[in-house]
Structure 1
Amino acid sequence: MAETYSIEQYLLDRANINDTVIRMMHGFDSRCVADLVDLVYTPEIFLDYDSRMGGRPRTTTSAEWAKKVARLHAEDDFTQHLV
């Protein structure tokens, strides 16, 4: 029999997910690669953007991915992500 999922656990999980997304967007906007690596990403990341960008699924490190993402907005004076 499956374990029950309490409303308390649901709300805690939801808050943790929201906090992580906000941390990620703040890391992008502040261009803080260290925050993305230390506070958001797991040490190893599985990426599968095949349907959007072509290519094959791959695994990379959090540091490598955070640096790549930071370069996406390198030319912008500022960014603002809203959640």
Structure 2
Amino acid sequence: MDVRALLDRAEITDTVVRMGWCLDRRDWAGLRALFTDRVRTDYTALWGGEPQEGPVDQLLSTSAQGSWRRTMDGLEATQHLITNVLVDVEGDEARTTANVVGVHRLANPHGSPLWTVGGTYDIRLVRLSTGWRIRAITQDLAWVEGNQQVLFRAAMRHAA
């Protein structure tokens, strides 16, 4: 493996891991910088429905239904552990697969304050002049534990 390939792998892995880090710290500007202007998200394994594609600013908005920010800002805390990142690079495009465990916390009157999801991410990236950026995320579900009301109540709490 040449030095360029190693540098690509390191930057791609850093981008993927940084996504969880920024999300947990509500660093919306830092998170925005990791994505292309349009992003495709597929959480159908968890929620059903259809994959979504649109401007990343919609995904990170405070008002859009189903946006990350609207939900995450309503939680007391989260921790997304993204590990075992495998990277495949072909030219200016890359695909990673990684394990993910997301813990979501919000005290509520409907049971446990925790909702935890385990599974994998399939993340597609593209090399831009500014570096590697995420253009698509698909979550595959392995297990869920706890109170799903945590996420629903968080989205309602932020909207109020």
Aligned Cα RMSD in Å?
Answer: 2.1
CA distance in 2, matches of 1:12, 1:32: 25
Unpaired stretches in structure 1, ≥5 consecutive residues: 1-5
Percent identity (aligned): 34
Quote the residue 1:3 is aligned against.
none
Please state whether the residue corresponding to 1:81 is helix, strand or coil.
strand
**Whose helix proportion is higher, 1 or 2?**
1
**Cα deviation, residue 53, structure 1:** 2.3
2:27 aligned with 1:32, yes or no?
A: yes
Quote the residue 1:72 is aligned against.
71
User: If the length of structure 2 is used for normalisation, what is the TM-score?
Assistant: 0.41
Moved more, 39-48 or 53-62: 53-62
Higher relative contact order (CA 8 A, sep 6+): 1
**Whose strand proportion is higher, 1 or 2?**
2
CA distance in 1, matches of 2:56, 2:19: 12
User: If the length of structure 1 is used for normalisation, what is the TM-score?
Assistant: 0.69
Unpaired stretches in structure 2, ≥5 consecutive residues: 62-66, 83-160
